């Protein structure tokens, strides 16, 4: 009996030894499985981190501004282009309400809210946004729910700044307008001046033959009107190709023009200078450039009707495109007045010859100025609203201009 028990015990002992060993093997297996899972997890997490960093880098290198907003239009994410557009770092902007970062953007905010409520995309072209410090930016924008949830909880907002494209389009339009009006004026001038010469010559001959000196009054009228018409056509044609090219300082030109305008007596009009003294000389014809700046400044003075302020601001623009040509450096002169502005329906026409909004104006000043600046490879453009009219003269720097 004792023997049988001891044998049984012996077996039990062996049995428990076996189970222990088996348990150990399972534990070991479990351990290695956990370690493997942890390793895979770690690797996956590492890869996910790398992937996330790569995605972040890609989103940050987009030229389009990307923002994510929550239901209350608070910022949850913005890429580098969005930070540049808002002039705000994501760290500072996080959880700030988008409407608080813009001025007078109610229709835009309404569009975003509608997008959130309906789940339908919201698209806006050439949307004018006003940021603090009166910084105006034009964007094309698209908003859509980030994930397909009902109702959408996050909004993906994409914004592309289009001021540059609009400016190029506007400048190309001004140049095309100028070239076609120049061609028209040249043909018209040719057609007017030829018969006019004959008319004037015939009137002179007639005058000599007239028996009664009293009748000379009539030939005098013919000759006087023919001269007036020829002068008008000559003004419309503007100066011929500039020839006296030299290095000229834009500031000397502006100062000469100021002296001329101030000599005309406008004591209640203040002219302030805001110069960038580092602007290199322009390669051009000083006399003609004076004429161009004078025409623009005189218009500003006339618009102020005796009282107001004008600012003359000079700056350098780098890598600037005028028409289809890109220039390394361009001198920029802004003539800014706080007068009543140009009515919107006239703004598109003021560079055409014979277009005037003044009772005594011939409407040639701006067309001549545009022609002169064009001959220097540059351009004049205008932006106007009541209280602020800006005429911008752009002149390429260097002899290539």
Ligand X SMILES: Nc1ncnc2c1ncn2[C@@H]1O[C@H](COP(=O)(O)OP(=O)(O)OP(=O)(O)O)[C@@H](O)[C@H]1O
Taking Cα atoms as reference points, which of 84, 80, 136 lies closest to residue 105? 136
Verify binding: residue 365, Mg ion, rule CB under 5 A.
Answer: yes
Residue 27 CA to residue 20 CA, distance in Å, equals: 10
CB of 305 to ligand X, least distance (A): 10
Q: Are 109 and 99 in contact (CB under 8 A)?
A: yes
First to last CA, the chain: 121
**Partner interacting with residue 356 (select from Mg ion, ligand X, none; CB below 5-8 Å by kind):** ligand X
Q: Which of the listed partners (Mg ion, ligand X, none) does 350 bind, with a CB threshold of 5 to 8 Å by partner kind?
A: ligand X
Taking the least distance from each CB to ligand X, the nearer of 93 and 301 is 301
Minimal CB distance residue for Mg ion? 365
What is the rounded CA–CA span in Å between residue 304 and residue 25? 97
Provide the binding-site residues for ligand X, judged by CB under 6 A. 295, 299-300, 303, 337, 339, 341-342, 350, 355-358, 361-367, 389
Tell me which residue of 254, 390, 388, 273 sits closest to 334, measured CA to CA.
Answer: 390
**201 vs 387 by CB, closer to ligand X:** 387
- Residue 314 binds to Mg ion (criterion: CB under 5 A): no
Please state, in angstroms and rounded to a whole number, the distance separating the CA atoms of residues 397 and 395.
Answer: 6
Q: What is the bridge-based pairing of β-strands 245-248 and 379-385? A: unpaired
- Do 98 and 176 form a contact (C-beta atoms < 8 A)? no
384 near Mg ion (CB under 5 A): no
Residue 185 interacting entry, from ligand X, Mg ion, none, C-beta within 5 to 8 Å by type:
none
Which one, 67 or 382, has the nearer CB to ligand X? 382
Of residues 122 and 391, the one with the C-beta less far from ligand X: 391
Token pair belonging to 228: 């007036």
| Interface of this chain with Mg ion, residues 9 to 48, rule: CB under 5 A | none
- Residue 303 interacts with which of ligand X, Mg ion, none, CB < 5 to 8 Å by class: ligand X
Token representation of residue 3: 């023997």
Q: How far is the CB of 136 from ligand X (least distance, A)?
A: 20
Contact stretch for Mg ion (CB under 5 A) within 23-31, 153-161, 256-264, 292-300:
292-300
Site stretch for Mg ion (CB under 5 A), options 45-53, 276-284, 295-303, 333-341: 295-303
How distant is the alpha carbon of residue 297 from its chain centre? 23
Long-range contacts of 379-382 (CB under 8 A, 24+ apart): 379/171, 379/174, 379/175, 379/322, 379/323, 380/174, 380/292, 380/296, 380/351, 381/170, 381/171, 381/174, 382/342, 382/347, 382/350
- In contact, 143 and 122? CB cutoff 8 Å: yes
Spell out where 25-109 has E strands.
65-70, 75-78
CB of 256 to Mg ion, least distance (A): 18
Distance CA 51, CA 46 (A): 8
Nearer Cβ to Mg ion (145/353)? 353
Least distance from Mg ion to the Cβ atom of residue 347, Å: 15
Q: Which residues pair with 318 in a beta bridge?
A: 329
Nearest approach in angstroms of CB 384 to ligand X is 6
Size of the site for Mg ion (CB under 5 A): 2
Least separation in angstroms between residue 302's CB and ligand X is 6
Binding-site partner at residue 239 among Mg ion, ligand X, none, CB < 5 to 8 Å by type: none
- Closer of 127 and 355 to Mg ion (Cβ): 355
d(CA 398, CA 401): 6
Three-class secondary structure of residue 334 per DSSP: strand
Residue 141 or 366 having the CB closest to ligand X? 366
299 contributes a contact to Mg ion by CB under 5 A: yes
Applying CB under 5 A, the span of 151-159, 162-170, 231-239, 359-367 interacting with Mg ion comes to: 359-367
In angstroms, give the least distance from the CB of 252 to ligand X.
23
Shortest distance in whole angstroms from residue 228 CB to Mg ion: 19
Closest distance of CB 365 from Mg ion, Å: 3
> Residue 291, interface with Mg ion (CB under 5 A)?
no
Binding site for Mg ion (CB under 5 A): 299, 365
């Amino acid at each position: 009996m004792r023997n049988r028990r001891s044998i049984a015990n012996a077996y039990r002992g062996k049995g428990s030894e076996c189970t222990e060993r088996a348990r150990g093997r399972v534990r070991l297996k479990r351990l290695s499985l956990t370690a493997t899972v942890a390793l895979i997890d770690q690797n996956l997490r590492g890869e996910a981190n790398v992937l996330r960093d790569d995605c972040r880098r890609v989103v940050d290198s987009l030229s389009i501004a990307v923002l994510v907003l929550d239901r209350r239009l608070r910022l949850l994410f913005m890429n580098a282009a969005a930070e540049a557009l808002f002039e705000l770092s994501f760290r500072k902007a996080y959880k700030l309400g988008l409407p608080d970062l813009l001025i007078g953007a109610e229709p835009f905010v309404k569009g975003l809210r509608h997008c959130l409520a309906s789940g339908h995309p919201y698209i806006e072209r050439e949307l004018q946004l006003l940021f603090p410090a009166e910084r105006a930016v034009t964007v094309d924008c698209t908003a859509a729910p980030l994930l397909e949830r009902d109702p959408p909880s996050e909004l993906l907002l994409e914004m592309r700044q289009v001021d540059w494209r609009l400016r190029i389009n506007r400048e190309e339009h001004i140049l095309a307008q100028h070239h076609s009006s120049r061609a028209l004026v040249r043909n018209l001038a040719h057609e007017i001046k030829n018969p006019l010469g004959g008319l004037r010559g015939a009137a002179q001959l007639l005058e000599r033959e007239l028996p009664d000196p009293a009748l000379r009054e009539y030939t005098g009228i013919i000759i006087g009107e023919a001269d007036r018409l020829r002068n008008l056509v000559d003004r419309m044609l503007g100066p011929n190709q500039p020839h006296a090219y030299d290095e000229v300082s834009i500031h000397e030109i502006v100062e000469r023009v100021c002296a001329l305008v101030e000599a005309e007596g406008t004591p209640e009009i203040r002219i302030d200078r805001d110069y960038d003294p580092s602007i290199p000389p322009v390669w051009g014809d000083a006399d003609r450039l004076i004429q161009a700046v004078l025409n623009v400044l005189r218009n500003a003075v006339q618009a102020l009707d005796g009282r107001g302020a004008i600012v003359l601001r000079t700056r350098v623009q780098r890598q600037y495109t005028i028409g289809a040509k890109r220039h390394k450096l361009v001198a920029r002169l802004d003539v800014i007045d706080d007068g009543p502005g140009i009515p919107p329906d006239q703004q598109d026409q003021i560079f055409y010859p014979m277009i005037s909004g003044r009772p005594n104006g011939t409407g040639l000043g701006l067309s001549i100025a545009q022609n002169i600046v064009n001959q220097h490879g540059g351009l004049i453009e205008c932006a106007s609203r009541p209280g602020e009219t800006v005429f911008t003269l752009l002149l390429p720097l260097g002899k290539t201009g």
